[in-house]
Structure 1
Amino acid sequence: MDTKDQQIFQKIQETFSSTDIRTVYAFEKLIGGGHFGSVRIAHRITDPQVKYAVKSILKENIKKDVKLLEEELSILTQVDHPNIIKFHETYIDYRYVHIVMELSEGGELFEKIVEMHRFSEQQAASLMKKIISAVKHLHERAICHRDLKPENFLFSDKTVEAEIKLIDFGLSKRFGQVLDHASEKMHTIVGTPYYVAPEVLKGNYDFSCDVWSLGVILYIMLCGYPPFEGDNNKEIFRRVLQQKLEFDPDEWSEVSMEAKDLLEKMLQKEPAKRISAIDALKHPWFAISHSDKANLDKRIFQRLKDFKAPQRFQVEALMFLVNNITKELDFKSLREAFRAIDKKNTGLLSLTEIKGAFRECRVPEEDLEEIFKRLDHDQDGQINYSEFLAATVDRKKALTMQNLWFAFHHYDVDNSGFITEASLTEVFHREGKYLNQEQVHEIMAQADQENKGKISFEDFSKLMKELLDS
């Protein structure tokens, strides 16, 4: 890499790993292309069973837009939601930036729309609730996606109960400080013609442009075609800006007034009058999906109550497992519990929400505060999705010998048979986690109880099995 390239990619180079990805992953088949690159299926060389999607971006193609890539990577490391694609690691070499992500094999929402032609209101409400919740999670973090379209939503697998996942943050942007008073506006015309909001075409917009795009997606889900059509982009743009929203009686006579009311609020041409993601989720139409009537499984409550992971390394390894071994561990009931507790649909649990969910179980308040502190590993005052999964997963199923080997190989980066301070530093680098040497040293010192300067598989296994007795 020449010096100029090094300067351009310096921030990514400093944040992530410059290890050769081919020493960690073996690439399988090509499955697609997105902004500036290709996407391939890959597996860890040490474990061919677990598959990932790796997006490889040619540096030559992104030099001029490296800020967009920095933004995308920064966003991917921040978000954590059941309906947003899970980011794992990033590697940078002399030609490419490789982003390792969760693999979703159920196909695009776009393909599903083509196949079904139109969705029942119940199907549409159930999906749209999850989709808006994911977008709200972004907006809460002052992130605007700017390219919401059915091609950017994938199903996790081909089963009926598959989760829907928002992908591709290539055009996303963080701006403003807080959701309620985003101080600045964005001015770049981006997005895809059918889904682009009128104010984006005028070059002065904020978060509400995402709500417009979701309105277009919902409209298509309910009738099979977009609200503003045209033979070319210019024609589509003209109609987006000028044409009134219409519901053709031939397609819409069977659709409820509530659905049309929500669409009118989402597809309001004036952004100031448009419904927000927060208020859209409270709309009466969503009562049709019955998805928030999940009963809290008493075992989940018991696991939350009993969760004790005295060491940061135990938590890191457990979170690695719940985010990587998704096929073997049944997360359906955990996802439903998370959504049931997450009353505000932010993709984060507050102490108030935890208290509300467990009040019926008659747990003393002080215990709940203690439980909350134990779960909130990054001490940001909220429990994110991965923290919740780590605390509520069936630990007997998660900590099998096979899974422990899988996790051990992840931390033993040079295949020496040991985890060291240097290998932990490299893993945190791959994950884009900002830990200084002192913090890494502390994690290692806690885990290395015999002070050997390295952790064998036997030591690691013993450390993780402590979680079974807690």
Structure 2
Amino acid sequence: MASGVPQGIERLYEVGKVLGTGAFSTVREGKDRRTGQLVALKIISASKLTASPRVEQTIRNEISIMRMVSQMEHNCLVKMYDLYEDETKIVLVLEHLAGGELFDRIVERGHYTESDASQLTAKLMGALKNCHEQGILHRDMKPENCIYDSRTDDANIKITDFGLALVDDNSSFSNRLRQRLVGTPGYVAPEVLDRFEYTPGCDVWGIGVILYILLVGYPPFWAETQEALFAVIKRGQYEFHADAWDEISDEAKDLVSKMLTVDTTQRITSQGVLEHPWIVREQSHAPLAATQQRMRRFNARRKFRAAVMACFWGARMGLRKKLDDSLGERGFTPQELGALKECFNEADADGSGTVNHDQFTTIMVDLGFGDLPLDRMYAVMDKDDSNTIDYREFLCGLSVLRVGGEDAMRFCFDLYDADKSGFISREELSRVLFTVVHEEASEFDKASKLAEVFDRLDTNNDNKISFDEFKAGVDIEPALYEVFLSPMREPVARAAKSPRTED
């Protein structure tokens, strides 16, 4: 029997691999023994329920909302098929979504248009409108919670993760939920930041942010610190940059403007979105190639930062699943090799067959990998200490990270081990990870969390991390390894020049 699974469940489902883990649960793949249908089994330990009344209320609230959502039978809302509970576990039997995240699928497309963006927006807003009519507020609309149900071309988009949702029924529990700040920084509505005001409008705002990214491939709000980001959001300070937005229709800009209106009394409603001309009328089928390229870079950056923050906050965030899933696609495709070779040759202006540090940095930025610790990568790839990298060294280094395994583990260890001592010091760990995190935490919080991470890895308490400790520690802190591998699994292509500089 799979560890931590009630016996009754195994009579009904074959319990498979772990799909992800969260603060209160583990999600495993399941297969209905009678029908063969794949499901997702969200397993919550009873010990979590008894940890505190607040935790139990939160879990019971999610279960109650999932029942309501499933009864709607909307094609774009994740379904809960069943619920099992015994003295040790609660198991939610959920729809199995294997099609990938919204932005991942868009960057994989050969052809992406305003028409596609319009249809996606209509589907997401239609699903939310159904929720709002039942008094359900999602409160965490972001691309990670928009998942396709399969890998087929006609796959349906689904809104998932109602863990932060509430029922707007004016109950004492609902009112307590309103007193907490929830959501994701770049997508949270200004009234939530300003006065904890949760209404259907906060979901409309979240979809508005997603729509902005769908159209041009980068987010409307950004800043160097979280405090500054929140200030920008509360002011509703964003722009339609000409070099990105000139190819986007005026109707699309109008809808974005109406969704990202700070004044909640003037913000468009979910019904208003569905009746907007840009949604109702047929939109352009002209390819938005530049948007896809910018989105590819933004998506890689988003995942990279998520991996780093998983390390800081101790969350697994499904990184092990992503690693397992990726191993079936080893190496680079011929098209990707072409992009790598093209970038290398352009940087190698004198035809010497090698590139220096500055040229290497140009290549990596052009490929969309500018957020990686490039100084350390250059040093590790320069195997012969010639202060140059030839194409073989370049391709070998990137391929190691793409494929994973023992060689990738050693490569990642060497990225931290700057002095080549064979050990990672506290300073070396901090130096690499601090370079890739800006707004998500204060300097104090980052230092504190890194100290905790280091202490967990340093099992013999000698104030340094050996390679064996690093390998063992990856099971505890998978992001220490995954943070370098995740960007390499994004499809390699020339990155579009962003209409603004975020670094």
TM-score (norm 1): 0.53
1:38 to 8, 26, 32: 26
Answer whether contact 1:38 1:55 (CA < 8 A) is retained. yes
Deviation at 1:128, TM superposition (A): 0.9
Structure 1 residue aligned with 2:378: none
For the Cα contact (< 8 Å) 1:24–1:45, is it kept in 2?
A: yes
**Maintained 8 Å contact 2:274/2:280:** no
- Helix, strand or coil at the partner of 1:135: helix
**Higher mean C-alpha displacement, 212-221 vs 230-239:** 230-239
C-alpha displacement of 1:120: 1.7
**Counterpart AA for 1:200:** V
User: Given the superposition, is the C-alpha separation of residues 185 and 61 from structure 1 closer, same or farther in structure 2, using an over 3 Å criterion?
Assistant: closer
> In the superposition, relative to structure 1, how do residues 231 and 27 fare at CA in structure 2: closer, same or farther (>3 Å)?
farther
Q: Secondary structure at the match of 1:55?
A: strand
1:55 aligns with 2:42: yes
Q: Which amino acid aligns with 1:52?
A: V
Distance in 1, Cα, partners of 2:275 & 2:137: 21
Whole-angstrom distance in 2 between the partners of 1:67 and 1:287: 41
Matched with 1:438 is: none
CA distance in 2, matches of 1:140, 1:122: 27
Q: Which amino acid aligns with 2:125?
A: I
Q: Find runs of 4+ consecutive structure 1 residues off by over 6 angstroms.
A: 182-185
User: Closer, same or farther in 2 for the Cα pair 1:117/1:208, shift >3 Å?
Assistant: farther
Q: Per the alignment, do residues 185 and 66 of structure 1 end up closer, same or farther by CA in structure 2, a change over 3 Å counting?
A: closer
Aligned residues: 269
Equivalent of 1:145 in 126, 131, 138? 138
Mapped partners of 2:81, 2:111: distance in 1 = 34
1:66 corresponds to which residue?
56
Q: Could you say if the C-alpha distance between residues 117 and 273 of structure 1 is closer, same or farther in structure 2, counting changes exceeding 3 Å?
A: farther
1:372-387 equivalence runs, <5 A: none
Aligned to 2:253: 260
The answer (yes or no) to whether the contact 1:144–1:174 under 8 Å persists in 2 is: yes
- Which residue does the alignment assign to 1:242? 235
In the TM superposition, what is the alpha-carbon distance from 1:37 to its structure 2 partner? 1.8
Q: 1:250 deviation in Å?
A: 0.9
Given the alignment, which residue of 89, 93, 108 partners 2:82? 89
Partner of 1:172: 165
Answer yes or no: is 1:284 the counterpart of 2:277. yes
Alignment of 1:354-433 (within 5 A): none
State the Cα deviation string for residues 381-439 of structure 1 (Å, max 9, x = none): xxxxxxxxxxxxxxxxxxxxxxxxxxxxxxxxxxxxxxxxxxxxxxxxxxxxxxxxxxx
Q: In 1, are the aligned partners of 2:48 and 2:56 still within 8 Å (CA)?
A: no
Secondary structure of 2:67's counterpart equals helix
Structure 1: segments with no counterpart, 5+ residues: 1-17, 291-470
Indicate the residue corresponding to 1:28 in structure 2. 16
Query: CA separation in 2, counterparts of 1:167 and 1:200?
Result: 21
Does the Cα contact within 8 Å between 1:186 and 1:206 map onto a contact in 2? Answer: no
Change over 3 Å in CA distance of 1:24–1:183 after alignment to 2: closer
Letter in 2 for 1:174: V
Distance 1:23 1:189, change over 3 A: same
TM-aligned CA deviation for residue 95 of structure 1: 3.4
**Structure 1 match to 2:308:** none
2:202 is paired with a residue of what secondary structure? helix
8 Å contact kept, 2:190–2:236: no
Deviation sequence 1:110-133 (CA, Å, 0-9, x none): 322454699521000111101000
Contact 1:108 1:150 in 2 (8 A): yes
Deviates more, 1:154-163 or 1:128-137: 154-163
The partner residue of 1:201 within 181, 193, 200 is 193
- Cα contact 2:29–2:39 (8 A) shared by 1: yes
Identity %: 38
Q: What's the counterpart of residue 132 of structure 1?
A: 125
Q: Partner letter of residue 73 of structure 1?
A: I
Q: Which residue of 1 aligns with 2:377?
A: none
Relative to structure 1, the CA distance from residue 183 to residue 258 in structure 2 (aligned partners, 3 Å threshold; closer, same or farther) is farther
| 1:229 corresponds to 2:216 | no
Letter in 1 for 2:259: M
Residues 279 and 19 (structure 1), Cα distance of their counterparts in 2 relative to 1, 3 Å cut:
farther
Q: What's the Cα RMSD here?
A: 2.6
Residues 119, 222 of structure 1: 8 Å contact kept: no
Q: Secondary structure at the match of 2:232?
A: helix
For 1:229, what is the secondary structure of its paired residue?
coil
